[in-house]
Each structure stands twice: as structure tokens, then as C-alpha cells.
Amino acid sequence: RAADAARALAAQVPEFELVDGDAVVVRDGSGAFAVEFQDAVESPTSSDRRGVELVGFVVGGDNPARARNTAIRNGGASASNGERCSGDAFAGCRANTSARSGESLGLTFVKTGTPWVAKTAVVVRVVVRDGDVDAVAANVTSSLGPTAKRGFKARGVVEYAAEDRKDRAAFGRDSSTIVGYENASAKTTPSIGIEIVQRDASSTARSAFSVKALHVALPEGCGVVYL
């Protein structure tokens, strides 16, 4: 399962690549972000599928519509709710890495400029889901340090085009918050955000993916956020 998930992600975003010699690690086009997939431990007492769920990624690039169309051509499924995805509309630029229910990751495509690496696909935000947004956000914020904040907006990321509703969240959900850490060199160094989405208490649907930890580059060194 882990290898299948990694291959699907790398296939739908051609600028992403599987790390040589490792079938479960995918690196984005900038080389600054990587995600490692691990197989769940299947047992009656396993907690692998509990806790914070991995929902997907917000992916930046020069042309969100082209990136979304490429993802669908390469085996992904459209995740638009009827919104347009074109040069002047980004709200519909969403896809899933697999059409199989419960085993897909969401990909939302946005436009990026400086300081993000140009002419490639870069992860600008990791999207997770939990029943207690405030608790997860507090955990992430405290782990990232005193300059981390909720309501974070990454420099150089354009999520809405002329025809988009500006009050719509990247994944079409209103109850979410974004936490990020912007260092002193923010004008030249991109900062990845962490979006926490509220889990619908009335829904039994769960993501097939859970998050164990996030490794974040900080001025003081590498910080680890355990979720």
C-alpha cells in the first residue's frame, strides 16, 4: 500500500519523483519537501488509523489548470465540485491521486511566484484533518516556536483567480486553520504551511492515511512535530 500511494503521487505530478532506491519516499520539484509513506500495522489493537489524518497537499506551480489536467490524464480523478479550472479560475483545480474511495490524497493546485522555485511543482501546504482543530493547531504552533502563528499566509502563493469566490478554502471546507513559521529570510526562503481541517463528526468516512510526524526546517535546526 505504501509503495502504491507513493507511485500514484509521483505519477500524477510529473515534477515529483520517487527517491532513488526507495519506493516509498516522494520528493517535490524543489527538492525541499519530501513525504515518506509507511504501511499500516494491521492488528486488532493497531492505532495507525486513529488520530490526525493526512488529507492531501496544496501544490504550487506556474499553471494550476495545466497541472490539474495532467494529474487527471495520469490516473487521478477530478475533485472539483463544479467550479471552473482555467487561466482565470483556480477553485476547480483539484484532483485526487486515485479514484478508489478512501485511498486517495487530495491535490489542490495554486499559482506560485517568488520566493518559490519556478517552473516546477512545489508543495506549499500539507493538509491534515482532525476532530479538534484547536488542539492540533496549538501543538503545531508550540512545536514550531514563538514566531509560528495561526492564520499563516505563505508569501508568493496565489490561491484565487479573478473568477473565484475568495471565501472558499483550498479544499472547499470552511472550518480549517493554517499554521506556519516565517523566518527572517522570508523574502527569499519559501515557508510551507500546515492546514488543519475539521473532521465532520457526523461522517464515518476516514482517510486511509494518518500522520505520524512532520520534520520542519527551522533557523535553529530541524524541528519535529509529532501529531
CB 57 within 8 A of CB 105: yes
Q: Give the whole-number percent of the chain exceeding pLDDT 70.
A: 83
Distance of CA 176 to the CA centre of its chain: 13
Residues whose CB falls within 8 Å of the CB of residue 226, separated by 6 or more in sequence, listed in order: 139, 143, 212, 213
Q: How far from 131 is each of 21, 48, 50, 92, 198, CA to CA, in Å? A: 37, 16, 11, 26, 6
Q: Which has the minimum average pLDDT: 72-86, 101-115, 176-190, 200-214?
A: 176-190
Strands (E) located in the chain = 17-18, 25-27, 34-36, 53-61, 77-78, 94-96, 106-112, 122-130, 148-150, 157-158, 176-181, 193-198, 213-218, 221-226
Unique residue bearing C-alpha cell 475533485: 79
Mean pLDDT calculated for residue range 3-19: 92
107: left (phi over 0), alpha (psi -120 to 50) or beta: beta
Q: How far from 38 is each of 24, 54, 57, 66, 120, CA to CA, in Å? A: 7, 13, 17, 30, 26
- For the cut 70, the answer to whether the pLDDT of residue 48 exceeds it is no
Mean pLDDT calculated for residue range 202-209: 78
Q: What was the pLDDT predicted at 166?
A: 53
Residues whose CB falls within 8 Å of the CB of residue 47, separated by 6 or more in sequence, listed in order: none
pLDDT in tens, 160-179: 887 776 545 444 445 789 99
Q: What was the pLDDT predicted at 50?
A: 55
pLDDT in tens, 74-100: 999 999 888 889 888 888 899 999 755
| Number of other CB atoms surrounding residue 88 within 10 Å | 10
Which of residues 173 and 112 earns the better pLDDT score? 112
- For the cut 90, the answer to whether the pLDDT of residue 147 exceeds it is no
Q: What was the pLDDT predicted at 185?
A: 60
Could you give the angle at the alpha carbon of 202 between the alpha carbons of 44 and 37, nearest 5°? 45
List the one residue out of 58, 94, 92 whose CA is nearest residue 76.
94
- Whole-model pTM? 0.88
Across all residues in the chain, what is the average pLDDT? 83
